[in-house]
Amino acid sequence: MKPMIRCGTMTGLLALAVLLGCSRKKPNAPSEDPYAGGIPKFVRTSYIEFGRIARISRFRSAVGGDYSDDFERCRSMKHCFEPKPVFDWSTIPIFTPVDGTVIRIVEEPAGSQVWIKSREYPDIEFGIFHVHLQNPLAAGQTVNEGQRLGTHIGGQALSEIAVGVRSAGGWRLVSYFDALTDTAMQAFRSCGSFTPYDFIISREARDADPLGCEGDSLVGGGRLDDWINLGCRYDIDAWGIPRFVRVNYIELDRIGRISRFRSSIGHDYSDFFEDCRSMKHYFMPEEAGDWSTVRVFSPVDGTVSRFFKEFAGTQVWIQSSEYPDFEFRIFHVKLLDSLSVGQILKAGRQLGTHIGSQTMSDIAVAVSTPVEWKLVSYFDVMTDTLFQAYQARGARERGDFIITREARDADPLTCTGETFGPYAGPTGDWFVLN
């Protein structure tokens, strides 16, 4: 878990960032103020992959240092974007929000600060902080909306963006959210029911709840909320499936064979994106032995989100604490102790045993995505170290346990309700362990 980095809070070697990243930039003003009544909503592209963001500081917040303009003082008039701690912050891409021209590059102790003048509205400039540039940039260079500038620098600082307007009265800072089109704003609404105003502390509200300043440092936090927490879902298509499961959910040395993801074993168990296939895994114990003594464990640190009685045993759903959009559903458990919704579990805690020989043990992994919930293979979320236990039992690769969507579509099953029809196709349903 990465430590929380407060925007603009740096010491030692990074003290220079106060001068470079948190000081005011005041270019020469034009002869008149064309945006006195408000700036146009013209930004169609997010400058950062916002789905990986946990929270965003509000315009005029107390986060970081004083970053104000010629009209206000002693407040942070930019936005800090704090990524979710589960991601490597240095992999988060940064993009050009508008068509425009690079007007300056400032080298910071933590990456580069890039300022871009809009081509469509030349009096409006965008400053993006702490960028690890993909390619060298220079003042005067033309950039296009959506062009990748590089990535965020990493865990030593938060990503920040400022938007400034050159006006007759001087340099005026506005919120990034003031400039977003309704379509661009809609993407943020997918992470919560937000309006642009949620990300902005009004001037009147800040004036009524003033902050204190010592130079460029803010002292005294005020009473207003500084952050907006996002509720973005995990985008598997954009970010891939993380490998974070380190513990087997069942005693592997008691298992003889495992059904493949998208097999015809059992019944239709599919998701919002596919249908008529079993998108979970059945673990069949060895024929010899009492199946009701096979122990079952929590595969992850997490929280009990649901449990209920089945025809055989109890079905237990566990929400991962590391990746909260990932939920593990374990079927047919004879509970060792009582459970409660909200109960915290540690990876490896014994839930109980498999119910017995009347059915097999099964596990499904469901992911809440920006569109809808999606099922993925248990083997896709295992660490390489955990998968070595299966390689020791004869597996070569994770694909041994997975029928691809393309292969299943080419060799479809038939369904009546949740019941599979007769099937005699070439696709194998089981992987037999040695």
- pLDDT tens by residue, 378-420: 999 999 999 999 999 999 999 999 999 999 999 999 999 999 9
Question: Which of 26-35, 200-209, 287-296 shows the lowest mean pLDDT across its residues?
Answer: 26-35
Between 259 and 189, name the one with better pLDDT: 259
Instruction: Kindly list the distances between the CA atom of residue 427 and the CA atoms of 111, 255, 406, 416, in Å, as whole numbers in the listed order.
Output: 51, 22, 12, 20
The pLDDT assigned to 275 comes to 97
Extended strands (E) in 37-179: 53-57, 79-83, 93-95, 100-107, 112-118, 124-133, 142-143, 148-152, 159-167, 170-174
Between 91 and 3, name the one with better pLDDT: 91
pLDDT tens digit string along 258-289? Answer: 999 999 999 999 999 999 999 999 999 998 88
pLDDT tens digit string along 19-30? Answer: 333 434 444 444
The pLDDT assigned to 12 comes to 35
Local confidence band at 177 (pLDDT 50, 70, 90 cut-offs) = very high
Which amino acid is it at 353? T
Nearest C-alpha neighbor of 48 from the set 144, 126, 194, 152:
152
Instruction: Report the sign of the C-alpha dihedral through residues 319, 225, 114, 17, in that order.
Output: negative
Is residue 168 within 8 A of residue 33, CB to CB? The reply is: yes
Over range 142-161, report the average pLDDT.
97
pLDDT tens digit string along 352-388? Answer: 999 999 999 999 999 999 889 999 999 999 999 999 9
Over range 99-116, report the average pLDDT.
97
**Residue 2 pLDDT greater than 70, yes or no:** no
Query: φ, ψ for residue 51 (rounded to 5)?
Result: -65, -20
The pLDDT assigned to 1 comes to 37
Local confidence band at 7 (pLDDT 50, 70, 90 cut-offs) = low
**Residue 14 pLDDT greater than 80, yes or no:** no
Domains defined for the chain, CATH in brackets: 12-232 (2.70.70.10), 239-432 (2.70.70.10)
Over range 318-342, report the average pLDDT.
96
Percentage of residues in the chain with pLDDT exceeding 90? Answer: 82
Q: Which two tokens mark 57? A: 């500081």
Local confidence band at 192 (pLDDT 50, 70, 90 cut-offs) = confident
For residue 315, what are the β-bridge partners? Answer: 308
Query: φ, ψ for residue 263 (rounded to 5)?
Result: -75, 180
Q: If you average pLDDT over every residue of the chain, what do you get?
A: 91
Between 349 and 15, name the one with better pLDDT: 349
Over range 98-117, report the average pLDDT.
97
* Coil vs helix vs strand at 120: coil
